[in-house]
Amino acid sequence: MTQSTHVLRSQQFSVSCINELFARAEAFQRGGRKNYRDKIVFTVFYEPSTRTRFSFETAAARLGAGMVSTENAKEFSSATKGESLEDTIRVLCGYRPDAIVLRHPQTGAAEIAAEVSEGSGVSIINAGDGAGQHPTQALLDLYTIIKEVGRSGLKVVIGGDLANGRTARSLAYLLAKVDPNVHLVFVAPSALRLGEDIKQHLFENGVRFEEKEELVETLQDADVIYWTRVQKERIANSDYENLRAEMLLRYSITLAHLKLMKPRAILMHPLPRAGEIHPSVDGDSRAAYFRQAANGVPLRMAILERIFTRIPFE
Amino acid sequence: MTQSTHVLRSQQFSVSCINELFARAEAFQRGGRKNYRDKIVFTVFYEPSTRTRFSFETAAARLGAGMVSTENAKEFSSATKGESLEDTIRVLCGYRPDAIVLRHPQTGAAEIAAEVSEGSGVSIINAGDGAGQHPTQALLDLYTIIKEVGRSGLKVVIGGDLANGRTARSLAYLLAKVDPNVHLVFVAPSALRLGEDIKQHLFENGVRFEEKEELVETLQDADVIYWTRVQKERIANSDYENLRAEMLLRYSITLAHLKLMKPRAILMHPLPRAGEIHPSVDGDSRAAYFRQAANGVPLRMAILERIFTRIPFE
Amino acid sequence: MTQSTHVLRSQQFSVSCINELFARAEAFQRGGRKNYRDKIVFTVFYEPSTRTRFSFETAAARLGAGMVSTENAKEFSSATKGESLEDTIRVLCGYRPDAIVLRHPQTGAAEIAAEVSEGSGVSIINAGDGAGQHPTQALLDLYTIIKEVGRSGLKVVIGGDLANGRTARSLAYLLAKVDPNVHLVFVAPSALRLGEDIKQHLFENGVRFEEKEELVETLQDADVIYWTRVQKERIANSDYENLRAEMLLRYSITLAHLKLMKPRAILMHPLPRAGEIHPSVDGDSRAAYFRQAANGVPLRMAILERIFTRIPFE
């Protein structure tokens, strides 16, 4: 792993860096706070993602850092004024924040921002770049799994929209890294199967995985069921309604499914959900998705703290 | 009154709780500040109400609390992603703020949020739920009246849109509670008269009230004239223009009306106004509406402080 | 100069006040910070200008001040609720912030706000009022020039949209004030020439200036080239495309132009740019526009500090 002051891709982290971040997140979750009063975080969201923005800003607030925020950053580059992402980031870096949390609809936007910030001392945190990466989401997913079911020889079922969902792909990658004995099971309709690139990667790294079309048969011995929604934003309109109808019919998780799960298994979802998991499931202690979302705050505190104390990610 | 950590309805407060809140508001108005640096307030507005949001956020800032804010919360539940209010609130409660200030267009939204927050330790403050409640507005109205003209045997004229205006209804309720000898006069055109439910309530509680259609005859011995605008948002479009035209013709308050008022009476309005009170009135010391708006900050400081120190409302 | 607690127009500042502000900005740029924890700044933007808002809010955050912000203030006066700017400002002043940073599309809006704020102790900072003024932009431009090339007998070329660009006009005024020997050269196509009013002003004050249509011939002995974009917002749609096409053809600055500039000259632009300066120029040390944008933060810290310590501008 090369050292970096930025958080750009799920793949950039070494196992030891992940362990350090999770240890700090754990400490923050037990109530730790800091007072980084001299630090400033910008949250620059070109598309709304209030959930993610609130998670980062709560983390920054708990660390005592100052914040400047826009949920409407596309105005920067509006037709009226026409500015490139590069110019915008260069201007913002000139204001000398400690970190810029960037959400942008285009894949690769965070990488561009990181290049532009070169030499300014400003860290870029990728908070989602289109179909690309969302590394803090991947880390909080992994953190949740390790915290709740451990990291040794897990069987993890990942299902839903595997073709378009960056979350599922990143998680598969990270799991393979921290648990050499992990057994991955991918469940999706044929139209939304995992891409060949990630399968090739898993194969090359000797990760045990299989693909299924049926959900039910995977539930009995799974430690984690990680479910996702169909990414309407990333699918042609004409296909979407059909796919979603098929997903809801075949893959909606209900109490009947939970009955088949192991008593200590967990059910995860990156949220928001739109029918993939029935609310009647929420009361079951294995429904972990709200705990998973909550874990985002301490995990992001750990990320920001590392940036504030100028320890590179590696 | 039952105890609650939430602020949901004007009716939830006992007289002693109101007195305590107003005493703290008074102290804050004389310059008190606090440094609740460890506290975090979320303001989550599904419809814009910049005036109310700024009032809450100024209160939080003066108390030294951290803040995370959205004026665009409907993106949470956008057509693209489709999330229920319950899910959104559950996720936000998982981030562990001390309070969520919620503005939502649907009546009952704050009650739902309070149910969902159960067990999380997060207080919900209703900052307006459609045609429903806006309890901190009602409290600041009452605070202004008591501060400026006392609380003993008042004659209070409440006029304008009494059918759709939650403000007028809540105020009638609270006044009856703190001043058993209050005399209420409701002034509205027949199409916008007070609903039977609130009249029934006043009748059952022995509150003296009457209804009038003419404004002028009520001015001479009133202690408070509380004026409101026609709630365009809550009236069918075809009716609105007619009603508004009638209101402006018959019920716009000008300097001529002020000449009829007692020297120590006050004229109130929740703002914004749209023609109901002529700006030429603003210079008269009896025009209390800007002082009324200003009272929102210390009153909301008192509310937030009570939440931060975990004293329930009762 | 008369004393004022507001920042409304580029012309309001005396040379000694400008010198004091720039000395403080310089100190802040070297790393000074303050902890004005009791101060509160409102940023109230009726049109988006994320660049300017972030600059002010970063300045406020570095000073430790509290902030309440809207990037969507037009909702205050929405068709639904219909509120005058006067009412909005009066309500906001009642919340007792120390300063309101106001961006508004109408010329004169900040002057109106300053009148309304009378007696409240709240300072209004004009952050752009349509085709009117943007005094902190003008000050940061001047600060950049003095910092980078001095203030004695400068030759300053100002070009682009001189008819609609408030920036160019304000800068011409301020330069004439601080450098009696300045030599101004205005470069614009005939349709976008400087207005007669500002030329009359320069003439009456004995400022040496000339007008040119060609850019190239001005480059050789200029100390500053200040370039601007065509203000689409302020030009009729039918004219805009033609003008812009002409501007890009005749006035886009490339490396070829930089070769003609003096080694210590600087190229400035208020940003955003939309083709007027080719990105290949950015790497040249004479390209000063990103440093110019960065100077906005310390300059605005100096402005806010002066307001927080209640020293009037004069």
Q: Quick: pLDDT tens for C286-303.
A: 999 999 999 999 999 999
- State how far the Cα of A14 lies from the Cα of A313, in Å rounded to an integer: 8
Cα four-point dihedral sign C271, C137, C234, C214 = negative
Of B136-140, C84-88, C107-111, C130-134, the range with the lowest mean pLDDT is: C130-134
pLDDT band at residue C191 under the 50/70/90 scheme: confident
Of A89-93, A129-133, B39-43, C252-256, the range with the lowest mean pLDDT is: A129-133
Phi then psi dihedrals of residue A63, to 5 deg:
-85, 0
Q: How far is A206 from chain B (nearest CA, A)?
A: 36
Report yes or no: B290 at the C interface, CB cutoff 8 Å: yes
- State how far the Cα of C111 lies from the Cα of B65, in Å rounded to an integer: 33
Which residue range is the domain that position B228 belongs to? 135-293
Considering CB atoms only, which of B66, B80, B91 is closest to A51?
A: B91
pLDDT band at residue C77 under the 50/70/90 scheme: low
Neighbouring C-beta atoms of residue A23, cutoff 10 Å: 11
Q: Is the domain of C289 the same as that of C142?
A: yes
Report yes or no: C260 at the A interface, CB cutoff 8 Å: no
pLDDT of residue B79: 46
The answer to whether position C280 is within a domain reads yes
Asked whether the predicted pLDDT for residue C78 surpasses 90, the reply is no
Report yes or no: C41 at the B interface, CB cutoff 8 Å: no
Considering CB atoms only, which of C38, C84, C95 is closest to B297?
A: C95
Report yes or no: C66 at the A interface, CB cutoff 8 Å: no
pLDDT of residue C44: 96
Residue range B254-265, pLDDT digits in tens: 999 999 999 999
pLDDT of residue A235: 66
pLDDT of residue A67: 97
pLDDT of residue A225: 97
Residue range B188-228, pLDDT digits in tens: 988 889 889 889 989 998 999 999 988 999 999 999 999 98
For the entire predicted model, the pTM comes to 0.95
- State how far the Cα of B294 lies from the Cα of C90, in Å rounded to an integer: 9
Q: Is the domain of C289 the same as that of C141?
A: yes
- State how far the Cα of A195 lies from the Cα of A199, in Å rounded to an integer: 7
Q: Which residues does chain A have within 8 Å of residue C49's beta carbon, measured at their own beta carbons?
A: 75
Q: How far is C95 from chain B (nearest CA, A)?
A: 5
Q: Is the domain of A281 the same as that of A140?
A: yes
In one-letter notation, the amino acid at residue C134 is H
pLDDT of residue B303: 98
Q: For residue B33, give the chain C residue with the closest CA.
A: C38
Q: Is the domain of A65 the same as that of A81?
A: yes
Report yes or no: B64 at the C interface, CB cutoff 8 Å: yes
- State how far the Cα of B6 lies from the Cα of B84, in Å rounded to an integer: 21
Report yes or no: B121 at the A interface, CB cutoff 8 Å: no
Two structure tokens written together for B148: 């400026």
Alpha carbons within 13 A on the beta-carbon side of B37: 13
Classify residue B217 as exposed, middle or buried by CB count within 10 Å of its CB (0-12, 13-18, 19+): exposed
pLDDT band at residue C79 under the 50/70/90 scheme: very low
What's CA B195's distance to the chain center, in Å?
18
Q: Is the domain of A142 the same as that of A167?
A: yes
The answer to whether position A314 is within a domain reads no
Q: Which residues does chain B have within 8 Å of residue A36's beta carbon, measured at their own beta carbons?
A: none
Q: Taking all residues of chain B, what is their mean pLDDT, rounded to a whole number?
A: 92
- State how far the Cα of A301 lies from the Cα of A59, in Å rounded to an integer: 5
Chain C: list its partners (3+ Cβ pairs within 8 Å). Answer: A, B
Q: Is the domain of C88 the same as that of C36?
A: yes
Residue range B14-66, pLDDT digits in tens: 999 999 999 999 999 998 777 899 999 999 999 889 999 999 999 999 999 99
Percent of chain C with pLDDT over 90: 71
Report yes or no: C221 at the B interface, CB cutoff 8 Å: no
The answer to whether position C313 is within a domain reads no
pLDDT band at residue B233 under the 50/70/90 scheme: low
Q: Is the domain of C182 the same as that of C263?
A: yes
> Which of A285-299, B188-202, C198-212 is modeled with the greatest confidence?
A285-299
Percent of chain B with pLDDT over 90: 71
The answer to whether position A40 is within a domain reads yes
B30 given a catalytic annotation: no
Asked whether the predicted pLDDT for residue A80 surpasses 70, the reply is no
The answer to whether position A8 is within a domain reads yes
Asked whether the predicted pLDDT for residue A314 surpasses 80, the reply is yes
Percent of chain C with pLDDT over 70: 96
Residue range C164-175: mean pLDDT, rounded = 84
Considering CB atoms only, which of C37, C81, C95 is closest to B55?
A: C95
Residue range B73-102: mean pLDDT, rounded = 85
Asked whether the predicted pLDDT for residue C242 surpasses 90, the reply is no
Q: Is the domain of C49 the same as that of C146?
A: no
pLDDT of residue A1: 58
Q: Is the domain of B52 the same as that of B189?
A: no
CB within 8 Å: C51 and A82: no
Two structure tokens written together for C15: 């040379």
Q: Which residues does chain C have within 8 Å of residue B55's beta carbon, measured at their own beta carbons?
A: 95
Contacts of A7 (CB under 8 A, 6+ apart): A123, A124, A125, A126, A135, A136, A303, A313
Q: Are C102 and C134 in contact (CB under 8 A)?
A: no
- For C159-171, letters b (16+ CB in 10 Å) and e give bbbbbbbbbbbbb
CB within 8 Å: A50 and B66: no
Report yes or no: B46 at the A interface, CB cutoff 8 Å: no
Considering CB atoms only, which of A69, A279, A290 is closest to B91?
A: A290
- Among candidate residues A202, A214, A145, the one with its CA nearest the CA of residue A176: A202
Apex A173 CA angle, A171 and A176, nearest 5: 105
Q: Return the SS3 of B271.
A: coil
The answer to whether position B314 is within a domain reads no
pLDDT band at residue B288 under the 50/70/90 scheme: very high
- For B88-107, letters b (16+ CB in 10 Å) and e give bbbbbbbbbbbbbbbbbeee
- State how far the Cα of C39 lies from the Cα of C88, in Å rounded to an integer: 21
Beta bridge partners of A69: A43
pLDDT of residue B81: 61
Q: Is the domain of B200 the same as that of B59?
A: no
Q: Which of B9, B24, B43, B52 is catalytic?
A: B52
pLDDT of residue A79: 46
Q: Where are the alpha helices (DSSP H) in A76-165?
A: 85-94, 109-117, 135-149
Residue range C19-38: mean pLDDT, rounded = 92
Report yes or no: B188 at the A interface, CB cutoff 8 Å: no
Phi then psi dihedrals of residue C67, to 5 deg:
-140, 140
CA B48, B51, B52, B55: dihedral to nearest 10 degrees?
Answer: 140
User: Greatest CA separation found in chain B?
Assistant: 57
pLDDT of residue A234: 62
Residue range A48-77: mean pLDDT, rounded = 90
Among C35, C43, C57, C144, most A C-beta atoms within 10 A, so best to mutate, is C57
Where in the sequence numbering do the catalytic residues of C fall?
51-52, 81, 103, 134
Q: Is the domain of C164 the same as that of C126?
A: no
Residue range A102-160, pLDDT digits in tens: 999 999 999 999 999 999 999 999 999 988 899 999 999 999 999 999 999 999 999 98
CB within 8 Å: B50 and C97: no
CB within 8 Å: C48 and A96: no
pLDDT of residue A74: 79
Phi then psi dihedrals of residue C138, to 5 deg:
-60, -40
Q: Is the domain of B115 the same as that of B139?
A: no
* CATH of residue B105: 3.40.50.1370
The answer to whether position B231 is within a domain reads yes
Report yes or no: A283 at the B interface, CB cutoff 8 Å: no
Label the pairing between strands C183-187 and C155-159.
Answer: parallel
Q: Which of A33, A37, A51, A96 is catalytic?
A: A51
Q: How far is A166 from chain B (nearest CA, A)?
A: 16
Q: Taking all residues of chain A, what is their mean pLDDT, rounded to a whole number?
A: 91
Please indicate whether residue A79 or residue C107 has the higher confidence score (pLDDT). Answer: C107
pLDDT band at residue A18 under the 50/70/90 scheme: very high
How many domains does the structure of chain A reveal? 2
The answer to whether position A177 is within a domain reads yes
